[in-house]
Chains A and B, each alone.
Chain A
Amino acid sequence: MPPPPCAICNTDRALILRPKNHQRLCKTCFLSIFEAEIHHTITTSALFFRGERVAIGASGGKDSTVLASVLKTLNERYDYGLDLVLLSIDEGIKGYRDDSLETVKRNAQQYDMPLQIVGYDELYGWTMDQVVEQIGKKGNCTYCGVFRRQALDRGAARLGVRHVVTGHNADDVAETVMMNLLRGDLPRLARSTSIVTSTPSSTSTSEITNIKRSKPLKYAYEKEIVLYAHHKKLDYFSTECIYSPEAFRGSARALIKNLERIRPSSILDVVKSGEDMAKLVPGAGDSKCAGGCGKHGHAVDDIVDDAAKGGCGREEGQGGDEEMRAMEKRLEANDKVASEDREMEMTSNTRRASQNYDRNGGVISGTSAGLVQHDNTEILKTCDGQWHDRDTPIDTSKGKPKRSKGAAVTPRKLPQQKMGQCERCGYLSSQPICKACMLLEGLNKNRPKTAISVGVDDEEGGAERMQKGMEGLTLTGA
């Protein structure tokens, strides 16, 4: 029996089983439907405007290479009128990033796009290799993620670009939805599915702080991206970061992969659920546009999101479950404090609640009101996106004004992020000092005062490599 014809053109032989819906397609139809869907995403979300200068966050990996290729194709085919440039971050990871940057350099020539490379060492005085040398292999993804986010913005500013597109695909978004559910992080859950994050805010004047980010590949399956790259014979770099990813993401990723096996549409279905749940997060009610309208000042996107990009964290958590273990401990401690607290207040609360009952016959809400309020307090604290900075259990009995007993339980809004600028580097931050500067402070404090080491690198034919510690190096504005 001859192979079935393509489900779209009905003429050519179907050689591709489309991962998203198991449709059998020929190569030409697959490439064209893949491009058409991204065009659809771009137009329905009104991602770009004519004449816009857009930087593509390029790591040399499959996602950003496909993004660059597709955007170039679509820009020419549909006359978007975009001025496309490539922006790469050099984290300073030997044997990984140096090789992938070579790919990006070739891409720049192939696609005829200017390329800007921004290095962690020039921005922060630290390469990732040096960071890992100091803090070890565990937990360094936080540094990398925080640094990358800022580096992309600074690079964009250098290029005079107000809009950076990244290669986040549907798998990444689905994974982030699951991960934020697992971590119980509602604010991030609300932000993670937006196609546009961090739109220019009218309040801030600094040129490095209002750069728009978007994910044109948000609905594209990772497997289809690989297929597209393969059939278009794109030149990309497929090695993954040598440092291990965080446990939560690893766990969520494994789950997404299994879901895809069971029901191919699951990845999109999770993205759909994520978009809907974002509207149900308390205090997120007005962002019904799910980030696509380009009008609202949308939430600032995530360092955790960024950590998933640029090629890192692709493997399932081989590293440690450190992160999960730490959270488990913290929650356990919180629970303990909460339950002790609760038991103390139970007696008075229930008495009052039962009086309420007798008076107005309210059923469910009354008795457990005291308990519900307490639960909320607890979760609020773990949901402010800051739990990972906290080492000590939270004592609910201290520093919290006691709520008036017997009052009606009103739904609580999650604290909204208030954005200002970092006192040190001027970067967008909800705290007086931004995350990158905080991390740098810690790194610099422990840096040997005069660390000059001369090492021999066999792979480079015995070339001498100088590592120079730059004491007191601070961020230089772009």
Chain B
Amino acid sequence: MARKTLGEDPEGGANSCKRCQTQTATVAVRAESMCRDCFLKYVQTKVIKRMESFRVRHSAPGKQRLLLLPISFGASSLSLLHVLDEHLESQKRRTGRTGYDIHVVYVDTSAVETFPFDIQHQFQILKNHYPSRSFSTLGLDEACKLPNFESLCQISSQDTASGNNFLSRFLASLPSASSRADTVFLLRTHLLVHFAKTHDCEYIVWGSTTTRLAAQTLAETAKGRGFGLPWTVSDGPTPHGVNFHFPMRDLLKSEVVAFAELLQPSLGGVIVKDQGERRGERPVETRGVGKDTSIDELMREYFEGVEESYPSIVANVVRTVARLEAPTQQEGRRCQLCQMSMGNSDLGVAAWGGYQEKTEVNGTHSDAKQDGFCYGCARTIPPKNRYAT
């Protein structure tokens, strides 16, 4: 049985660390109690193990692979940055060169979400913290300038002319919090993929923990995008044309949060909780699950809850979904918005046998407007929200 609280030994630290047997155990991890040092090493090892293919000996001298590391200022992505920074420094110390390099990028979503903190200030702290790394910031509204943005969201060019303003208006026009969160997530991904491609990054390395990946699995399922799961949460090539890699996939959210806190100096001061997390601090009972909750948020909270008592079950969800096989014979089409390869029955909402409605509520339903969107994306941005906003 995993201990409920991580970061504090329930028996008052009287036990010695299960790993080194010398220091006092202060952290309870799944079934083990560890001291601070062993815990930090445990987290680092779990990440580095997933970075095996980026060892120095696998890279030709002078031709370094570049990895794009998107950060959200959350505990997971910052911890990943920390571990990779140390990894690179140690590679350099031992061999005089590194097996790869990372470029850190932050997608600023302040145009569409409220952020009660000064991003420039936080960014400066981070730069001072990791002086050898290179950093960039992208505004989410830059998604509007993506070459394929109009077909991406199926909107006309006169709409997009207004830039930043347009994006928030477009998002506000969407039917639900779930649609908005999903669209922001997809646009952010597009922006990062575009950045990776234009900056010769072979991989995007995500900070997603196993908890996060499990939540994403169930969220994608709930959004009707189950057919895309072999690409969404797996390591390797994606339909985006850039490889995705999830080095934190063996770690729980609570472990990563504890890691960020226990580091010296602690990352605690730099971490910024996102909107959902801040709202999540109020217990669900007082908040209720309503229209303003998004599917992503619901699933994240659900798994953070499950993780407390059943960490192995969370990990097992992710391992299970990794076993799903991408279809070998593609029926040839890709969704305009999420880019996943889809079959004919995945095209739009009405192509599926289980969809039985003859007419849409407002009568604007037409198959022509369904064009190019998969079932899940057609739920996220319904036909009436396209072209005319």
Partners in one complex: yes
Determine if A277 and B227 form an interchain contact, defined as CB atoms under 8 angstroms apart. Answer: yes
Residue of B nearest to A335 (CB): B312
Residues 51-79 of chain B: 1 if any A CB is under 8 Å from the residue's CB, otherwise 0? Answer: 01101011000000000000000000000
Residues of B with C-beta under 8 A to A21: 357, 361
Known: A261-B290, A277-B229, A280-B227. A178 touches B52 (CB 8 A): no
Q: Is the CB of B58 within 8 A of A357?
A: yes
Interface residues of B in 275-300 (CB under 8 A from A): 289-291, 293-295, 298
| Chain B residues, Cβ within 8 Å of A219 | 354, 356
B302 at the interface (CB under 8 A from A): yes
What distance in Å separates the Cβ of B263 from its nearest Cβ neighbour in chain A?
24
Q: How far in angstroms is the closest Cβ of chain B from A216?
A: 13
Question: Would you list which residues of chain B between 313 and 362 have a CB under 8 Å from chain A?
Answer: 313, 315-317, 319-327, 346, 352-357, 359, 361
Indicate if the CB atoms of A324 and B298 lie closer than 8 Å: no
Answer whether residue A37 sits at the interface, using C-beta atoms and an 8 A cutoff. Answer: yes
A177 to B218, CA, bound (A): 10
Q: CB of B188 within 8 A of chain A?
A: no
Q: How far is B57's CA from A163's CA once the two chains are assembled, in angstroms?
A: 63
The interface size bin for chain A is 35 or more
Q: Is B10 an interface residue (CB 8 A)?
A: no
0/1 interface trace, chain A 259-270, chain B, CB 8 Å (1 if under): 101110110111
Report A289-335 residues with CB < 8 Å from chain B CB.
Answer: 292, 321, 324-325, 327-329, 331-332, 335
- A-side contacts of B178, CB under 8 Å: 262-263
Whether a CB of chain B sits under 8 angstroms from the CB of A367 is: yes
Indicate with 1 or 0, residue by residue over B207-249, a CB within 8 angstroms of chain A CB atoms: 0000000000110111111110110000110000001000000
Q: Does A417 contact B (CB under 8 A)?
A: no
Asked whether any CB of chain A lies closer than 8 Å to the CB of B376, the reply is: yes
A379 within 8 A of B: yes
A382-B316 in contact given A219-B356, A262-B178, A366-B53 (Cβ < 8 Å): yes
The answer to whether residues A22 and B361 also contact, given A255-B302, A261-B290, A331-B315 and a CB cut-off of 8 A, is: yes
Chain B: CB-nearest residue to A413: B325
User: What's the Cα separation between A272 and B353 when bound, in Å?
Assistant: 9
In whole angstroms, how far apart are the Cα atoms of A45 and B356 in the complex?
Answer: 13
Please measure, in the bound complex, the distance between the C-alpha atom of A177 and the C-alpha atom of B316, giving whole angstroms: 15
Partner of B379, one of A183, A184, A269, A367: A269
The answer to whether B221 touches A329 (Cβ under 8 A) is: no
- Indicate if B30 sits at the interface (CB-CB under 8 A): yes
Residues of A within 8 A of B388 (CB): none
CB of A455 within 8 Å of the partner chain: no
Contacts A266-B295, A280-B229 given: A177-B313 contact, CB under 8 Å?
A: no
Assess whether A276 is in contact with B291, with CB atoms less than 8 Å apart: no
CA distance in complex: A45, B290 (Å): 35
**Shortest Cβ distance from residue B75 to the other chain A in the assembled complex, whole angstroms:** 23
A142: Cβ under 8 A from any B Cβ: no
Taking CB atoms, residues of chain B closer than 8 Å to A178 are 218, 221
> Is A383 a contact partner of B293 (Cβ separation < 8 A)?
no
A329 touches which of B1, B235, B359 (Cβ 8 Å): B1
| B1 engages A328 (CB within 8 Å) | yes
**A276–B321 Cα gap in the complex (Å)?**
13
Shortest CB–CB separation between residue B337 and chain A, in angstroms? Answer: 15
The CA of A274 and the CA of B226, in the complex, are separated in Å by: 7
Given the interface contacts A272-B224, A277-B324, A383-B320, does A259 sit within 8 Å of B357 by beta carbon? Answer: no
A282–B322 alpha-carbon span in the complex (Å):
11
B310 at the binding interface (Cβ < 8 Å)? yes
B residues 187-209 near A (Cβ < 8 Å) are none
**A376 closest partner in B (C-beta):** B323
Chain A residue at minimum C-beta to C-beta distance from B60: A361
Complex Cα gap A336–B18 (Å): 14
* A328 in contact with B293 (CB, 8 Å): no
B309 interface residue per 8 A CB criterion:
yes
Partner of B327 from the list A182, A183, A279, A371 (CB cut-off 8 Å) is A279
Complex alpha-carbon distance, A268 and B306, angstroms: 24
Q: Is the CB of B325 within 8 A of A268?
A: no
Q: Does A11 contact B (CB under 8 A)?
A: no
A363 within 8 Å of B by Cβ? yes
Nearest residue in B to A412 (C-beta to C-beta)?
B323
Best-buried of A182, A270, A272 by chain B (most CB within 10 Å): A272
Indicate whether A23 reaches chain B with its CB closer than 8 angstroms. Answer: yes
Name the residue on B nearest A44 (C-beta).
B353
Q: Is the CB of A277 within 8 A of B221?
A: yes
List of B residues within 8 angstroms of A218 by Cβ:
354
Q: Contact: A368 with B52, CB < 8 Å?
A: yes
Please state if B354 and A275 are interface contacts (CB–CB under 8 Å): yes
Q: How far is the CA of A384 from the CA of B2 in the complex (A)?
A: 25
Q: Which of B55, B222, B224 has the most CB of A within 10 A?
A: B222
Which of B30, B320, B357, B375 is within 8 Å of A272, CB to CB?
B375
Q: Which residues of B contact A411 (CB under 8 A)?
A: 325
List which B1-25 residues lie within 8 A (CB) of chain A: 1-2
Contact A280 B326 (CB under 8 A): yes
Query: Once the chains are docked, how many angstroms separate the CA of A383 from the CA of B316?
Result: 10
Given A262-B178, A262-B293, A272-B375, are A331 and B298 neighbors across the interface (CB < 8 Å)? Answer: no
Is the CB of A41 closer than 8 A to any CB of chain B? yes
Contact A269–B376 (Cβ < 8 Å): yes
Check if B31 is an interface residue, CB within 8 A of chain A.
yes
Counting CB contacts under 8 A, is B173 at the interface?
A: no
Which residues of chain A are within 8 angstroms of B354 by Cβ–Cβ distance? 218-219, 268, 271-272, 275
Which parts of A322-375 form the interface with B (CB within 8 Å)?
324-325, 327-329, 331-332, 335-336, 350, 354, 357-358, 363-364, 366-368, 371, 375
| Residue with the greatest number of chain B CB neighbours at <10 A, chosen from A271, A273, A275 | A273
Chain B residues contacting A183 (CB-CB under 8 Å) are 313, 316
A273 lies within 8 A of B221 (CB): yes
Q: Could you tell me if B226 and A273 are in contact, using CB atoms closer than 8 angstroms?
A: yes
CB distance from B59 to the nearest CB of A (A): 10
| Interface status of B176 (Cβ within 8 A of chain A) | yes
- Which of chain B's residues have a CB closer than 8 A to the CB of A285? 325
Shortest A84–chain B CB gap in Å is 23
Which one, B30, B52, B227, B327, contacts A350 given CB within 8 A? B52
What is the CA–CA distance of A259 and B222 in the complex, to the nearest angstrom? Answer: 8
The docked-state distance in angstroms from the alpha carbon of A363 to that of B236 is 11
Within the complex, what minimum Cβ distance (angstroms) separates A123 from chain B?
Answer: 35
How far does the alpha carbon of A21 sit from the alpha carbon of B356 in the complex, in Å? 11
In the bound complex, do residue A258 and residue B379 qualify as a contact, i.e. CB atoms below 8 Å apart?
no
- Beta-carbon contact of A184 and B317 below 8 Å: yes
Whether A82 is near chain B, meaning CB under 8 Å from some CB there, is: no
* Contacting residues, chain A, for B356 (C-beta < 8 A): 36-37, 40-41, 219
Chain A to chain B contacts (Cβ below 8 Å), 23 pairs: A21-B361, A41-B356, A44-B353, A184-B313, A186-B320, A186-B323, A258-B298, A259-B295, A262-B298, A263-B176, A266-B223, A273-B222, A273-B225, A280-B326, A324-B313, A328-B1, A328-B310, A328-B311, A335-B315, A364-B243, A367-B53, A368-B50, A411-B325
Give chain A's interface residues, CB within 8 Å of chain B: 7-8, 21-23, 36-37, 40-41, 44-45, 177-178, 181-186, 218-219, 251, 255, 258-259, 261-263, 265-266, 268-277, 279-282, 285, 292, 321, 324-325, 327-329, 331-332, 335-336, 350, 354, 357-358, 363-364, 366-368, 371, 375-376, 378-379, 382-383, 411
Give 9 A-B pairs besides A379-B319, A383-B323 with Cβ atoms closer than 8 angstroms: A7-B361, A22-B361, A41-B356, A184-B316, A263-B178, A276-B346, A328-B312, A331-B316, A364-B236
List chain B positions with a Cβ less than 8 A from chain A.
1-2, 30-31, 49-50, 52-53, 55, 57-58, 176-178, 217-218, 220-227, 229-230, 235-236, 243, 289-291, 293-295, 298, 302, 306, 309-313, 315-317, 319-327, 346, 352-357, 359, 361, 375-376, 379
* 6 shortest interchain CB distances as A-B pairs: A273-B226, A269-B224, A331-B312, A184-B320, A276-B227, A367-B52
